[in-house]
Amino acid sequence: MASAAEQLAANLNFSAFAKADELKKRIWFTLSALLVYRLGTYVPLPGIDPAIWSQVFKSQAGGILGMFNMFAGGGINRMAIFALNIMPYISASIILQLLTSVSPQLEALKKEGESGRKVINQYTRYLTVLLATFQAYGIAVGLEGAGNVVADPGLFFRLSTTVTLVGGTMFLMWLGEQITSRGIGNGISLIIMAGIVAELPTAIANTLELGRQGALSTFLILAIIIMVVAIIALIVFVERAQRRLLIQYPKRQVGNKMFEGQSSHLPLKLNTSGVIPPIFASSLLLLPTTIASFNAGKGPEWVQTIMTQLAHGRPLFLFLYLSLIVFFAFFYTAIVFNPTETADNLKKHGWVRFIWRSSV
């Protein structure tokens, strides 16, 4: 009986989905946009030798380039036109949000609502172009110094590489905005997720191959699978957890009618900042170290020492990474949820009583 009811519910849900033409259009648009993004990560930069670059990348894959390659969806490994990915935009967003907290002009723009938000977004785009140009030029110079990767080094190669990489970043920024408005979910987050998830099949195949060769035992592989599932379940549990602030509205009289007090709740997410802190932290750490990694062995000795200590997995890198995550967790939460502004809005609507309760 229960199975028949479940089957009926599934059929009803499927029929409702089949009739949701707008939702289907949004899903297909999102998938098509992500497909375009993935195709772009396989188009190499003009003027480089992919085979030689692949060898150079393998020699540094365990460092910061390997981490950057994960966020770029394999674009660094293939030195594709989307090698910078969306990271310059993330860095620009960080800088603008920091400036919003200290600049009265930007804070006033933020309070203007939709019009102010559009102006801040335009400033973010301008800053994205500036940061992407700086990073792209550094990559062009680094490629010229990485052996025989570049077939014809010179000003034309640097200019074409800079324009191509900056154009790729701006296209991904536009594509993310289109996904947000015409697709489903946050476009920027989906692009970052698609880049990370795209490397999962390779990682799974490598793990199974190690098991086939006897390097990993079957028990260890099963333990890894169980651990991954448990971690995902824990992340979902924490992500959905919220603390509910119950609020009560007093009795009020409108004309000759007396309205009883109403109650509602203000949901406060336990993890208000989401995945933004690690993304911000990675972006800030990748900005200087990526360019420095192309110039290994060059420059002052103290700079090389710092860059060595900032290598992925080193104690200094882990300390800064953890510190930045903690900082941005508090910082982004303060931006998303302003208690003073929320309290003022509640006062305007007459909410007078607050009761704390936790809920998941």
Answer yes or no: is 190 within a domain: yes
What is the reported pLDDT for 336?
73
Q: Which alpha helices (H) appear in the chain, and where do they start and end?
A: 2-19, 21-40, 50-60, 64-71, 87-102, 104-111, 114-144, 155-182, 187-197, 200-213, 218-240, 276-294, 301-309, 315-336, 339-348
Answer yes or no: is 139 within a domain: yes
- Rounded Cα–Cα distance for residues 337 and 356 (Å): 17
Answer yes or no: is 286 within a domain: no
- Rounded Cα–Cα distance for residues 38 and 191 (Å): 9
Answer yes or no: is 151 within a domain: yes
Answer yes or no: is 306 within a domain: no
What is the reported pLDDT for 359?
44
**Residue 202: burial class (beta carbons within 10 Å; 0-12, 13-18, 19+):** exposed
Q: Are 43 and 166 in contact (CB under 8 A)?
A: no
Q: Which two tokens stand for residue 191?
A: 């692009």
Answer yes or no: is 152 within a domain: yes
Q: Amino acid identity of 191?
A: I
Answer yes or no: is 80 within a domain: yes
pLDDT values of the chain reduced to their tens digit, one per residue, 360 residues: 445 555 545 554 656 656 677 888 889 999 999 999 999 888 888 888 888 888 878 776 655 666 677 777 778 888 888 988 888 888 888 788 778 877 888 878 877 777 888 888 899 999 999 999 988 888 888 888 777 888 888 889 999 999 999 999 999 999 998 998 888 888 888 888 888 888 788 888 888 888 888 888 888 889 988 998 999 899 889 888 888 777 766 666 666 666 666 667 777 888 888 777 887 787 677 666 655 655 555 556 776 677 777 766 778 888 888 999 998 888 888 777 777 777 776 676 655 544 444 444
144: left (phi over 0), alpha (psi -120 to 50) or beta: alpha
Question: pTM for the full model?
Answer: 0.72
pLDDT digits (tens, 9 = 90+) for 43-70: 888 888 888 888 878 776 655 666 677 7
Which range marks the domain in which residue 35 is found?
22-198
Helix (H) or strand (E) holding 268: strand 263-269
Answer yes or no: is 303 within a domain: no
Q: Amino acid identity of 97?
A: Q
pLDDT digits (tens, 9 = 90+) for 191-241: 888 888 887 888 888 888 888 888 888 888 899 889 989 998 998 898 888
**Nearest CA among 229, 284, 81 for reference residue 164:** 81
What is the reported pLDDT for 19?
66
Q: Indicate which CATH number applies to the domain containing 79.
A: 1.10.3370.10
What is the reported pLDDT for 1?
45
For β-strands 263-269 and 353-359, DSSP reports them as unpaired
Radius of gyration of the CA atoms of the chain, in A: 25
Number of domains in the chain: 1
